[in-house]
Amino acid sequence: MGSSDEKVVAVIMVGGPTKGTRFRPLSLNIPKPLFPLAGQPMVHHPISACKRIPNLTQIFLIGFYEEREFALYVSSISNELKVPVRYLREDKPHGSAGGLYNFRDRIMEDNPSHIVLLNCDVCCSFPLPEMLEAHKKYGGMGTILVIKVSAESASQFGELVADPVTNELLHYTEKPETFVSDRINCGVYIFTPDIFNAVEGVSTQWKDRADLRRLSSFESLHSATRNAPTHFVRLDQDILSPLAGKKQLYTYETLDFWEQIKTPGMSLKCSGLYLAQFRFTNPHLLVSGDGTKSASITGDVYVHPSAKVHPSAKIGPNVSISANARIGPGARLISCIILDNVEIKEHAVVIHSIVGWKSSIGRWSRVQATGDYNSKLGITILGEAVTVEDEVVVINSIVLPHKTLNVSVQEEIIL
C-alpha cells in the first residue's frame, strides 16, 4: 500500500437523457450507461477498471439522469467491488470540465493526490495503473490517453501532437477540418487537483469578458459570445487546447483496442471487444460447450446463469445472453446481444442483431443484418416486447417497441 497522501478518486461522466438520442430505441427503456455490453452495464467496464488503481478511495458518477435511475446499480456495485460508488446529479449541463468543477468539494473530500476522469461511452482496456505511473513520472497537471487511428477517421475526434521523446502535449484541436495528426484523444485522463484551478481560471476569464461586453455595444450584437455561460467549461477546447505546449499536459499511448459507443451498432461491436478481453481478465464469465450436454459454443460467449439454452442450439462467436432468456432447439446465434426475458424459438437464426427485452422470435424466423457497425441500418434492432412471428425474415431493420411482425421486412424502420 502507498502512503496516505497518494489517495486516488475516479470520476466517470455518464451524460444524461438528452445525450443518448442516437442510442434509441434502446435508450427508451434504460439509461444508456446501464445498457449491457458483454453481460455487464456499459458503465461497469470503466468502474471495474478503476478498481485496479492502487489506493482508490471513491468512484463518482456525474450526469443529469434522475438519481432513482442509478440508485439500485450504485448500491449493488459498491457492495460488489467494496469501493464507495456515488452518483452526483448535475442541475444542468456544465460541460465536461465544468461538471468536474461543480462537484470539486465532494471529489476532494478525501484530499486525493490524483483524479482519474473517464467518459462512460468509451470502450477500451483502460490501462489505468500503467497510465498513473507514467503520469507521476511526467510530473505535469494531466495525462491524456491517446491512440493512433487512420488519417481518414482522425478528424471525427480530438487530434493532438505530442513530443516523441517526452510525450508532452504540444498541440490539441477538437475535430479539425484539416488533418493535424493521427493521434487522437481517447477520453480517459489523470489529473492532479490543479485541474480545478485551470477550470476556475477559464470561468474567471469568461466572467471578465461578460463584464466587458456589458460596456460594449458592438459585442452585444454577437449572440454566440453573449450567450456563453461562465459555468459551462469544455475540457477539450477550453482546457486542453490552451494548455498544450506549456509543460502541463502529457500523453500516454495505448496500443490496445479503443472505440466510442455512440450508437447501438457500436455497442454490439464493443460487446464483442469486451467479451474477447474477458479471456484475459474474467475467463470465468465466458461459457463453453460441445453440443452434447450443453449448447455448442464458438468463440467468446456470455450467458447469464438464469438463461435457458437448449443443448442443440449453436451459439457464438460474440454473443451475450441476458437474464431469463430462453433459446430453443436448433437456434443459431452469431454476433448478437439478447436482452432479458427474450424467447428465441426452434431453429430461429439471429445474426448481427440486438433483441430487446421481452421480445419473441418465432420458429424458423431470421433476424439478421450485414454487421456494418457504423451504418444506421447495419445491425438489426428489436425494441422492447417485439414479436416476430414464425417464418418471418427481418433484415437490416429497426423495430420500435411493442410491434408485431407477421411479414418479412428489409432495410426498414418500423415505427
Question: Within a domain: residue 148?
Answer: yes
Query: Could you tell me the pTM of the whole model?
Result: 0.89
Mean pLDDT, to the nearest integer, of 263-269? Answer: 94
Task: For 49-91, give the DSSP string.
Answer: HHTTSTTEEEEEEEESS-THHHHHHHHHHHHHHTS-EEEEE-S
Domain of 90?
8-206+232-262
Integer Cα distance of 380 and 350 in angstroms: 9
pLDDT at position 24, please?
Answer: 83
What are 201-251's pLDDT values in tens digits? 876 665 555 444 444 444 444 444 344 445 678 888 888 888 888 999 999
CA dist list (Å): 31 to 25, 62, 73, 302: 11, 13, 11, 22
DSSP 8-state code for residue 259:
E
Question: Within a domain: residue 212?
Answer: no
Task: With residue 354 as reference, give the H or E element that holds it.
Answer: strand 349-355
- The half-sphere exposure of 370 on its side-chain side, counting CA atoms within 13 A, is 10
Q: What is the mean pLDDT of the chain?
A: 88
Integer Cα distance of 258 and 105 in angstroms: 32
Question: Within a domain: residue 269?
Answer: no
Question: Within a domain: residue 175?
Answer: yes
How much helix, strand and coil, in percent to the nearest 5, is found in the chain? 30, 30, 45
The count of residues in the chain is 415
Residues 77 and 166 in one domain: yes
Residues 103 and 43 in one domain: yes
Residues 240 and 199 in one domain: yes
123: β partners: 259
Residues 237 and 324 in one domain: no
Residues 250 and 386 in one domain: no
CATH number, residue 371: 2.160.10.10
Residues 171 and 250 in one domain: yes
pLDDT at position 155, please?
Answer: 76
Task: With residue 61 as reference, give the H or E element that holds it.
Answer: strand 56-63
pLDDT at 56 over 50: yes
Among residues 214, 246, 262, which one ends one of the domains?
262
Residues 192 and 295 in one domain: no
What are 5-32's pLDDT values in tens digits? 689 999 999 988 765 577 888 888 889 9
The backbone torsions φ and ψ at residue 185, rounded to the nearest 5 degrees and listed phi first, read: -75, 125
Count of structural domains, the chain? 2
Residues 250 and 326 in one domain: no
Residues 327 and 250 in one domain: no
Question: Within a domain: residue 220?
Answer: no
Residues 249 and 309 in one domain: no
What are 296-316's pLDDT values in tens digits? 999 999 999 999 999 999 999
Name the band, by pLDDT with cuts 50, 70 and 90, for residue 167.
Answer: very high
Question: Within a domain: residue 218?
Answer: no
Question: Within a domain: residue 374?
Answer: yes
pLDDT at 133 over 80: yes
Question: Within a domain: residue 20?
Answer: yes
Integer Cα distance of 245 and 160 in angstroms: 11
Residues 245 and 298 in one domain: no
Cell of 353: 442483431
Of all residues in the chain, what percent carry a pLDDT higher than 90?
A: 67
Highest mean pLDDT among 51-60, 97-106, 225-234: 51-60
CATH number, residue 108: 3.90.550.10
Residues 337 and 258 in one domain: no
